Structure 1
Amino acid sequence: MDLNRRDLLRLLGVAGLGAAGGGILSGCSTATAVAPVRSGAASLGLWTHDPGYASYFTQAATDAAVVGGSAWTFGVDVTSVAPADIVSRLVTQAVAQRPLPDLAGLVIDQFPRVMRAGIAENLFVDLTALTAPLGDRLLKTQPYTVDGKVYALESDNSISVMFYRADLFDELGIPADVGTWEELLEIGAEVAADTGQAIGMVANGDNGSIVNGFTQLLLQRGGNLYDAEGNLAVLSDEAVEVLELMAEGVRTGAFVALADPYGGAAAAALKGSRLVATVMPNWYEVYGLQANAPDQEGLWRARTIPRFAGGGHVASTMGGTAFAVLKDQPLTDAATDFLHRSYLTEEGQLARYFAGAYMPTLVDLYDAPEFQEITDPYLGGQRVFEVFSAAAADMPLFYQSAGASVLRDSLGGPVLRAITGQVGAEEALRAGVRTYERQVQP
């Protein structure tokens, strides 16, 4: 079919996953003339940004514990694609009726690009028949749900806990079991005044980092950016409370403001022992702590997050990557079977953790002996799943909507101004919502 430049830009841009998108894709079926492969050899095309996923899927394809008994014999052909390019390339390939992969990894903040006007429905297999029987056992399906249907499966539960320097907590007299954020913030203010050290960090760089940090605490407090129906929910008492707490932490020095939680400033704060605790997801241990402070092995520990006095959870979440199956391909059935075996079975989740430390999304596995007996040398030999089990049992839900990228950019500046004390928390949130609503039709 013919597609002019304007239509293509509309489809790929922020506003472009709009009314025209579903119609264009539905008129460009991804089906081919090749009959579906019902059994036998299945060399699956995989698009991902992360070599860790490439490695896991390649191993799983020949792991009898994972794929034994399947009607297909699997292989995996990996193509590396930048996170922001995967959705764009999927859409342009579908529109041009060019070859598509069988499986695609979608970073969580990119998924909203397919949530509007039938994009997900036209590109991906509805996986609800696989996820529904698992019920509440399966965590983190909400961010990848459109109109009640699940279109991608999360790779890592991305459980946010508090990492802290046990040696410095002892030295500074900070109780490792402090019960609430309010108590910890008071202690942190005293520590900052005495030593200049911080018990937490907030981002003050790009909009993504700023809003991610705010959202992580908002989810823990029991708030959300959107509700289950995709309606904007960020203007709430919980959001005001979280922003006020973050601003108070920065004002007193209990929280250190860093441009990038993963970059040079964060590395310097960790290496110099200026940052003695931080709330971050499980993967931050490897990509943040171990990467930047390998010499501090044995000094760090993990615990659940102190509660807010007003309620909420002892855990949160941030980040993630989910895999979707492309529909109407010769190997669609094979890819669906492979994803089910490697992501939704106990054997697959065990293999995934031991291949790349990807946290299970089946909540009952956290109490399985295979996990409970794991000790972490970097965390001083701690049995980390005692912490992660308690956290997984109290995970907040996280909802997304098609306008999530607009919301991120609309909130970034106002949230930063609130954190730095330039405006009040409620005023900042209202300003962000006004900017968002000018760009996104209800």
Structure 2
Amino acid sequence: MSSRHPTLLTLRSSDHRIIICFGGAAVAHTHPQSSSVRTGAGSMTRRGFLTAAGGAAIGAGVGLTGCGRSEAQTPKSSGPVDLQVWTNDPNYPAYFTYWAKQLNQRPDKRFDYRISSLIQSTDQVVTKLLTSYMSGTRLPDMPGFEISQFSRLQRDDIGGQFAVDLRKEIPHLDRDFYKARIVPYSSGDAVYGLDSDMCMGVYYYREDLWKKYGLSTDFETWDDLLAIGAKAHRDHDVAVAAVSSNDITWMTMLMLQQGGQCFGADGSLQVDNPHTVDALKLLRRGVQSGAFMDLSNFYGAAGVAAMNAGQVIGYIMPDWFQPFVLQLNAPKLSGRWRIRPFPRFTTGHATAVWGGTGFGVTKNQPGTTAALDLLKQAYCTREGQVQRFLKASYLPTMKNAWQDARLRKYESKYLGGQRPFDVYGQIVEDTPTMVTSPYWDVMNARMTIALSETMRGIQSPERAVRDAADSIRSQMAR
């Protein structure tokens, strides 16, 4: 991020008002046809960011006005309030706007909400948040922390400097929500984000093509799926899954399903466990046999082409894959896909997890109390959890929402009328927790190398994992 313009942000409000914050001053413009938001800032390394942001904070001084200050302010207790939601997905501010309108219409309303949003990449959301805090400019009232980016707030408990501890504000948080989706947004005993989705893994498959090729979907283990996939590749030149040799998504999910972890609750590195080795071996076997297609750009043009051409007839992915990848990239395949639980290992869980976005609230801001009230209604009530799925396709993270008849009876048109909660309901109680760490980015970078070297045959899985772990521990010790 540029040190010259540390707070050049473009925000879009619910009524299409564009708010440009530059050097602390705000200017409003109206642009009804605006469909995107931009920022004048580029990307920078973390060291460069800290240097630039630190200099920006000094240079900004006490003269910043208009966009607010990050220093302690008295939260409003009622009346009009402008809340800023920063996230990477426009579905989130749309959902919060829906709930804000519901609250605004209540006769006993406490606040009169107005929602504006900043849509940026996951890393830029956190980078801009940290820069705003350090430069003394306005913080977002409700930042969305993508799960891997949240790790940046865990180092030295940076998040505690500006984020509300939700465990203190939400009664029965640990009782009412699944632990698997609380722990990843924790730092010490504090919780700084409520996850928006369970992110449970399931197996997606093209039912029409499985029937056409005479393949049985009644398999039990990963070895069964590999055998089916190898035969399907030989006979029909198709793959029963797609993976990527430069993305640890599948390695991590397969490791978590067996009961492994990247990090321990005490912060120790645990990625060098036998389950990681087994996951790498399974992926390599799958790619070598043709059961799995290795895509260098899973979400790019090659992946979309393989999806629509029927070259890939199955996917090992979390629940968000259906609404945000399959449906968006293959709308003409509506009705042909189905889901079923993952194949099983001899030990471990029925599913795995990958991804997530936890929403927090910044403290000591004019909108703090209002933002907490909104988050509690939208994320901490059964109705809020149900509506979040119906309107935004995110699975409930609150336990009692899973008993709601609207969800149990929900039929997915894209899944050919299948009731997805018949599948998700079988496995939700066995969802593993993914423990995050301040060193997640270090682990991710080094394990990506280990994955690539294993898949290319440069190193054995055992050696690749051992070398990666030694490198990660060395960097953690610095």
2:133 partner letter: A
1:377 aligns with 413
Q: Structure 1 residue 296 and structure 2 residue 333: aligned?
A: yes
Q: Structure 1 residue 181 and structure 2 residue 214: aligned?
A: no
Retained in 2: the 8 A contact 1:144–1:153? yes
Change (3 A) 1:153 1:70: farther
1:86 partner letter: V
Distance in 1 of aligned mates of 2:376 and 2:418: 32
1:39-438 matched pairs, under 5 angstroms: 39-64=78-103, 71-130=110-169, 133-139=172-178, 140-205=181-246, 210-308=247-345, 310-438=346-474
Distance in 1 of aligned mates of 2:170 and 2:47: 29
CA shift, 1:286, in A, is: 2.3
Quote the sequence identity (%): 32
Retained in 2: the 8 A contact 1:105–1:324? yes
2:359 partner letter: F
Distance in 2 of aligned mates of 1:405 and 1:356: 28
- Give the secondary structure class of the aligned counterpart of 2:372: helix
Q: Structure 1 residue 31 and structure 2 residue 67: aligned?
A: no
1:196 partner letter: D
Distance in 1 of aligned mates of 2:48 and 2:356: 24
Retained in 1: the 8 A contact 2:104–2:112? no
Retained in 2: the 8 A contact 1:161–1:304? yes
2:214 partner letter: G
CA shift, 1:406, in A, is: 0.9
1:338 partner letter: L
- Give the secondary structure class of the aligned counterpart of 1:75: strand
Q: TM-score, normalised by structure 1?
A: 0.89
Distance in 2 of aligned mates of 1:274 and 1:424: 29
Change (3 A) 1:67 1:80: farther
Change (3 A) 1:111 1:428: same
- Give the secondary structure class of the aligned counterpart of 2:360: strand
Q: Which runs of 5+ in 1 are unaligned?
A: 4-10
- Per-residue CA shift, 1:139-190, capped at 9, x if unaligned? 3011110012110111122221110011222233332231111111122112
Distance in 1 of aligned mates of 2:106 and 2:284: 50
Retained in 2: the 8 A contact 1:160–1:282? yes
Distance in 2 of aligned mates of 1:285 and 1:168: 18
Retained in 1: the 8 A contact 2:334–2:416? yes
Distance in 1 of aligned mates of 2:464 and 2:250: 16
- Give the secondary structure class of the aligned counterpart of 2:215: coil
1:8 aligns with none
- Give the secondary structure class of the aligned counterpart of 1:117: helix
Retained in 2: the 8 A contact 1:67–1:341? no
Retained in 2: the 8 A contact 1:249–1:255? yes
CA RMSD of aligned residues (A): 2.7
Distance in 2 of aligned mates of 1:312 and 1:131: 31
Retained in 1: the 8 A contact 2:323–2:393? no
Distance in 2 of aligned mates of 1:60 and 1:383: 26
1:38 partner letter: S
Q: TM-score, normalised by structure 2?
A: 0.83
Retained in 2: the 8 A contact 1:304–1:314? yes
CA shift, 1:15, in A, is: 10
Distance in 2 of aligned mates of 1:124 and 1:47: 14
Number of positions where the alignment pairs a residue of Structure 1 with one of Structure 2: 423
Change (3 A) 1:15 1:190: farther
Q: Which runs of 5+ in 2 are unaligned?
A: 4-43, 63-68
- Per-residue CA shift, 1:119-157, capped at 9, x if unaligned? 011020000134561435413011110012110111122
- Give the secondary structure class of the aligned counterpart of 1:115: helix
- Give the secondary structure class of the aligned counterpart of 2:366: coil
Distance in 2 of aligned mates of 1:311 and 1:300: 28
1:7 aligns with none
CA shift, 1:116, in A, is: 0.8
Distance in 1 of aligned mates of 2:170 and 2:450: 38
CA shift, 1:68, in A, is: 7.7
